[in-house]
Amino acid sequence: MAVCAEVVLKPKKALRVPVYAPCIRPDDFAGLSEAEIGSLEVLKGNRKVRLAELFEVKGDAASKPEELTICLSGDFGKVRQVGFEMTSGRVVVEGDIGLLAGEHMRGGTIEIHGSAGSWLGSRMLGGTIIVHGSAGDYVGSSYRGAADGMRGGTIIIEGDVGSELGNHMRGGTIEVKGSVGLFPGIHLHDGAILIRGDCEGRPGAFMMGGKIIICGHVPSVLPGFSIIRISKSVKFGKEKIEGPFYTFVGDLTEGGGGRLHVSKERNSHLSHYESYL
């Protein structure tokens, strides 16, 4: 058990139906007693139920959301939208968490010890999300079809991530310590993505701006990218990532000016690009 604080939620029995619980956030819990928290409404499938019907609630909440920690203990893999639009405080998840965790989040911290579902931190504006396990697709992305992805804040994922990481991202930073699927940084407008592991392919498709750093292997770079130099190191926030990196500009098919940095050491098959320098 990690360090846990004021309010603890535990599933009464394993959930089989998705539960939409945007109210599981310090802003809603602040100042409520155990019973009051238990009477908050969530959607189980298409039915409204009280939180206490699904979860054991322990502990009264502090009066200010920033002093509050919500601890989700057990399997929350079916629970969605936890920390929706939260502004402060902490949510600690000891197991897995479902889709849309930290959607439109504005501040505070979400720490997930297990894995996160897809759409983690989508449309996020601020705050921090730390995942010790892996995460699904569309991390820090926009709503399907929209062009307003993550605008601020930080997402750190220690495991692997699925496809379309940072779709339509417009600010903030995402760091992935494992590897990523297809299309990381698709439609990237601004902000920075650091991938310490490998990439399955097609990084930065349609990117207009911002920065993608890939320290691992990439099968190929899209034809819309043009090499501009070999960088010794690249800055990621305040950190200096040691290279050397092949630095590309793109996606030129969209008239974009983003920067894609790909490790030189791990990608000897890209050495033919050096002839264009």
Partner 1 sequence: MAEKAPRALLIKNGIVFDPLNGIDGERMDIAVLNGRIVEDVPEKEAYVIDASGMMVMPGGVDIHAHIAGSEVNAGRLLRPEDHFKDVEPKTATARSGVGHSVPSTWTTGYRYARMGWTWVSNPSMPPLEARHTHEELDDTPIIDKATYPLLGDCWFVMEFLAAGMIEECAAYVAWMLWATKGYAVKLVNPGGLECWGFGGNVKSIDDVVPYFNITPREIIRGLAKVNHLLDLPHTIHIHTNRLGQPGNWEITVRTMDCVRDIPGTSSTGKRSIHVTHVQFSAFGGDDWASMCSMAAPIARYVNMHDHVTIDMGAVVPGDTTTMTADGPFQYGLYELTGNKWINHDVETETSSGIVPYHYRRKSLVNAVQWAIGLELALLIKDPWKGAFVTTDHPNGAPFTTYPRVIEWLMSVKAREKTLKRVNKRAIRRMVLPSIDREMTFYEIAILTRAGPAKALGLENKGHLGVGADADIAIYAIDPDRIDPGRDHRAVRRAFERAAWTIKEGRVVVKDGQVVSSPRGRTFWVHVELPDWTEEAIRSIGDAWTERYTVSFENYPIPKHYLARPYKVVRKARLEA
Positions in the binding site for partner 1 (CB under 8 A): 142-147, 254
- Smaller CB distance to partner 1: residue 115 or 141? 141
Nearer to partner 1, 220 or 253 (CB): 253
Query: Rounded to the nearest whole angstrom, what is the least distance from the CB of residue 43 to partner 1 in the complex?
Result: 12
Q: Which two tokens stand for residue 213?
A: 């750093």
What burial letters (b/e) apply to 40-52, b meaning 16+ CB within 10 Å? bebbbeeeeeebb
User: Shortest approach of partner 1 to residue 275 CB, angstroms?
Assistant: 32
Quick one: 187 or 217, whose CB is closer to partner 1? 187
Least separation in angstroms between residue 208's CB and partner 1 is 9
67 exposure class (CB count in 10 Å sphere: 0-12, 13-18, 19+):
middle
Q: How far is the CB of 123 from partner 1 (least distance, A)?
A: 10
Torsion of CA 129, 133, 136, 141, to 10 degrees: 20
Query: Distance (Å, rounded) from C-alpha 202 to C-alpha 223?
Result: 10
Position of tokens 């298409």?
A: 46
Q: Which is nearer to partner 1, 145 or 272 (CB)?
A: 145
- Asked whether the beta carbons of 153 and 86 are under 8 A apart, the reply is no
Identify which of residues 143 and 236 has a Cβ nearer to partner 1 in the complex: 143
Given a contact cutoff of 8 angstroms between Cβ atoms, the answer to whether 92 and 131 are in contact is: no
Least CB distance to partner 1 at residue 99 (A): 14
Task: Please list, in sequence order, all residues whose beta carbon lies within 8 angstroms of the beta carbon of residue 239, skipping any fewer than 6 positions away.
Answer: none
